[in-house]
C-alpha cells in the first residue's frame, strides 16, 4: 500500500467517524475507502487533514466534492439559469436530493 494512501486513511477515519461511529451518515467506510484509493486529490487532503490548523477554501472544495461523490451526486445534474452542471457543492447537492424526494 502506498504511503500517501496509508497516511490518508487516518484522516478519512477521522472524517467518516471514529470508533464510536461506524459510518458517515448512512454510507459505509468501505465505499469511502474505495473512493479514496482512486483519487490523488482526496488522498492529499485526507493525509493532511490532521495536520492543518485551518482548512483552506480549496481544500474545503475537495472535501465537499468527496462528500457529493460519496452520495452519488456526481451523477445528478443541477439545473442552473444557463445550463446543466454537475454539483460538487454540498449545499447544492442537499437541495437537489430534497427536490427529488418531493417529486
Spell out the domain ranges in the chain.
3-102
For every one of its 103 residues, what pLDDT tens digit does the chain have, with 9 covering 90 and above?
888 898 899 888 888 876 665 666 677 788 889 999 999 989 999 998 878 888 888 888 888 888 888 877 655 555 443 333 455 666 776 676 666 666 5
DSSP string, the chain: --HHHHHHHHHHHHHH--TT--EETTEEHHHHHHHHHT-HHHHHHHHHTTT-SS--HHHHHHHHHHHHHHTTGGGSEEE-SS-EEE---HHHHHHHHHHHHH-
pLDDT score, position 43: 93
Amino acid at each position: 500500500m502506498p504511503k500517501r494512501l496509508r497516511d490518508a486513511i487516518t484522516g478519512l477515519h477521522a472524517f467518516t467517524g471514529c470508533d464510536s461511529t461506524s459510518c458517515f451518515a448512512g454510507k459505509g467506510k468501505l465505499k469511502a475507502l474505495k473512493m479514496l484509493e482512486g483519487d490523488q486529490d482526496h488522498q492529499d487532503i485526507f493525509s493532511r487533514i490532521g495536520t492543518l490548523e485551518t482548512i483552506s477554501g480549496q481544500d474545503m472544495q475537495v472535501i465537499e466534492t468527496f462528500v457529493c461523490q460519496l452520495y452519488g451526486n456526481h451523477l445528478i445534474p443541477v439545473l442552473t439559469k444557463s445550463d446543466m452542471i454537475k454539483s460538487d457543492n454540498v449545499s447544492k447537492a442537499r437541495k437537489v436530493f430534497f427536490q427529488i424526494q418531493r417529486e
